């Protein structure tokens, strides 16, 4: 193709990246991604958010929450992120993505120079306190199988590009912290 990722990036005036937020349910990923996208938008960046709401309703609606389905879910998200990066966009993702090997695979698919891993390291106890949907309670009662952090493992990133624990921090403080560190990648 004559119109390449670099040509599109130049036209849009930005470096296409995939900003991959990982962390437990209730850690703040979706709220952070929403606010971070608004911040990038104000700075004139062309973005797209991928999260459970827009991915599980269409592209991945045939997948459940078994380990195999979670692996495939993350693989598909990485492939879509790569395509959107090829279109010149900055992609923000918000997924638990509990397994290291799947995040490494996502980074390989997207490309190591385009992938920014952000670990929302909010502790399990804090995530459970924030659980307005009662998912942790159901998981602890055995009503939800394969729930990350309870009945299924969550493997913390070994070397994330950015890490933040949202405990005791406002969304504004958290987004400012992340945004200040993202500047060197964008």
- Cβ count near 27 (within 10 Å): 28
User: Is 24 marked within a binding site?
Assistant: yes
* Residue 137 near residue 127 (C-beta atoms within 8 A): no
23: annotated binding-site residue?
yes
Tokens of 82: 């790569």
Q: Known binder of ligand: residue 52?
A: no
User: One of 81, 97, 148, 152 is an active-site residue; which one?
Assistant: 97
27 belongs to an annotated ligand binding site: yes
Active site residue 152: no
Ligand-binding annotation for 30, yes or no, is yes
Max alpha carbon distance in the chain (Å)? Answer: 56
The answer to the question of whether 29 is labelled as a binding residue is yes
Contacts of 169 (CB under 8 A, 6+ apart): 177
CA–CA dist 145, 171 (Å, integer): 30
Looking at the annotation, which residues are catalytic? 97
User: Annotated binding site for ATP, which residues?
Assistant: 23-30
User: Annotated binding site, which residues?
Assistant: 23-30
């Amino acid at each position: 193709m004559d119109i390449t990722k670099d040509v599109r990036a130049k036209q849009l005036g930005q470096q296409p990246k995939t900003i991959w937020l990982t962390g437990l349910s209730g850690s703040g990923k979706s709220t952070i991604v929403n606010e971070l996208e608004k911040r990038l938008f104000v700075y004139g960046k062309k973005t797209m958010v991928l999260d459970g709401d827009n991915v599980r309703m269409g592209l991945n609606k045939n997948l459940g929450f078994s380990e195999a389905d979670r692996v495939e879910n993350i693989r598909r998200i990485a492939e879509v992120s790569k395509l959107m990066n090829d279109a010149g966009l900055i992609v923000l993702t918000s997924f638990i993505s509990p397994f290291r090997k799947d995040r490494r695979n996502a980074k390989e698919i997207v490309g190591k120079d385009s992938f920014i891993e952000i670990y929302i390291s909010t502790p399990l106890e804090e995530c459970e306190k924030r659980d307005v949907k009662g998912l942790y309670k159901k998981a602890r009662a055995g009503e939800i199988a394969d729930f990350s952090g309870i009945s299924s493992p969550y493997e913390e990133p070994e070397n994330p590009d950015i890490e933040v624990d949202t405990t005791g921090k406002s969304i504004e403080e958290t987004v400012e912290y992340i945004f200040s560190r993202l500047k060197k990648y964008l």
